[in-house]
Amino acid sequence: MGRAVRIGEPGVLAVVEEEVGGLGWGEALVAVAWAGICGSDLEVFQGTRPAEFVRYPVVPGHEWSGTVVRVGDGADPELVGRKVVGEGFRNCGRCTACREGDTSLCSAGYDETGFTQPGAWADHLKLPARLLHPLPDEADLRAAALLEPAACMASAVLKADLRVGESVAVIGGGTLGLLATQLLAAAGAGHLVVVDPRADRAEPAKACGATDFRAPDELDGGFDVVLEAAGASGTGRLAVRSTRRGGRTVLTGIAPEEHEPLAPADLVGAAVTVHTVFGASTSAWAHAVRAFATGHLDPAPLITHEFVLDDAEQALRALADRSVPTGKVLLHP
C-alpha cells in the first residue's frame, strides 16, 4: 500500500491509500523522491484546465524525480536502483511523429502522467520504463524534480536554433523563463535579457545567466531570438515585435485570457520565423538531462517552498497566492 493525493473533482482533494499492484509488460515502479507543482496542476484543482487535457479522478504530478524499485517483464533490470526522471506523454512510439522524434505530437491522442494517468503526488509511480531517463548516481533528486519544465524549455531552445553570440530576450522571469535562461546561456547566447514586470526577479535572472533585465515597457526590440515563457495576455505579440526582421520567435505560453492577440499583419510585416512548443519531445528531455548531469543546468535555486503530501492543498494555495513571491513548489512523501 502507498499514499496518493487524489483530486476526485474540481476543488475536492484527499490523501488516500492505494494498492501498488503488479507491473505490466515493460513497466517500472518508481519510489517518488520529489514532485513539483505548476500552474497546470492548479488548473486541475480549480477545474479550469480544458476538459480534453484532464480526466477525473486523477492523481496529479507530471514533474517528479525518484528511484526505480522494481521493473516488470520486458523492462531493463539494470534500471533497478537507478535515480531517474521520466517523460509525461504516453506516446505510442509507432506513429510518424513518434518515429521522427516528435513524441510530444503523438497522433494516438493526448495521454499524460498526472492528467489522464496517475501521477507522482504519491509514494510510488508506475509508468512505461521506456520513458525513463537515468541520472548520475550523485544527482540531486530535489533539483531533478524540475527537469520536466526544463525539458519543455529545452524544446524551445532547440527550436530557436541559437548561434553562439546571438542576442536573445526571454519574456517571463518565472520558473520556466529562468530555466530557459540557463539553457540559453549554456548554448552561447551573447546579449541575454530577461523581461518581466516584477523587479524582484532581476537578481535571480542574472544569477541564471542573464546579462540584463528589463521591464516590458523598456524593451526596445531587435533581438535575434525571442523566447516567450510568460503565458500572459500580450506576451506573444510583444515577443514578435521584439524580434528583429528575419529573426526567430519561440512561443511557449498560453494566456488564460488574451486581450492583445497576434494579428497576421504582425507576422508578415516582421518577417520572423515563429515556432511554438507543446510539451517536450524525447530529444528535448535528453538535452535537459544532459545539461543537468554536466552542471550546465541547476534548477535548485528556483525552489522556494516544500510540503509533505498531507499538505498538498496548502501547497496549491501557496502557489495561487499572488501576494507573496513564489518560485517552484515541491511535494515529497
Which among 99, 225, 101, 128 has a CA at the least distance from the CA of 171?
225
Strand partners, 250: 227, 275
pLDDT (tens digit per residue) in 289-301:
999 999 999 999 9
Q: How does the average pLDDT of the chain come out, rounded? A: 95
Q: Provide, rounded to the nearest whole percent, the portion of the chain with pLDDT above 70.
A: 100
Q: Is the pLDDT of residue 34 over 80?
A: yes
| β-strand pairing of 223-228 with 168-171 | parallel
Q: What is the DSSP secondary structure assignment for residue 26, as one 8-state letter?
A: T
Q: In which band, very low, low, confident or very high, does the pLDDT at 262 lie, cut at 50, 70 and 90?
A: confident
pLDDT of residue 112: 96
Q: Is the pLDDT of residue 257 over 90?
A: no
pLDDT (tens digit per residue) in 208-222:
999 999 999 999 889
The kind and range of the H/E element at 40 are helix 39-46
In degrees, rounded to 5, the angle at the alpha carbon of residue 149 between the alpha carbons of residues 144 and 154 is 100
pLDDT of residue 207: 97
Q: In which band, very low, low, confident or very high, does the pLDDT at 67 lie, cut at 50, 70 and 90?
A: very high
pLDDT of residue 185: 98
Q: Is the pLDDT of residue 324 over 90?
A: no
Q: What is the pTM of this model?
A: 0.95
Q: Round to whole Å and give the CA distance between 214 and 156.
A: 21
Q: Which cell numbers in the block locate residue 42? A: 492548479
Q: Round to whole Å and give the CA distance between 36 and 316.
A: 11
For the purposes of burial, counting CB atoms within 10 Å of the CB of 203, is it exposed (0-12), middle (13-18) or buried (19 or more)? exposed
Q: Is the pLDDT of residue 322 over 80?
A: no
The kind and range of the H/E element at 177 are helix 175-186
Mean pLDDT of all residues in 309-326:
88
Rg of the chain over all Cα atoms, to the nearest angstrom: 20
Q: Round to whole Å and give the CA distance between 8 and 41.
A: 13
**Under a CB-based contact definition with an 8 Å cutoff, are residues 160 and 225 in contact?**
yes
Q: Which residue has the higher pLDDT, 254 or 238?
A: 238
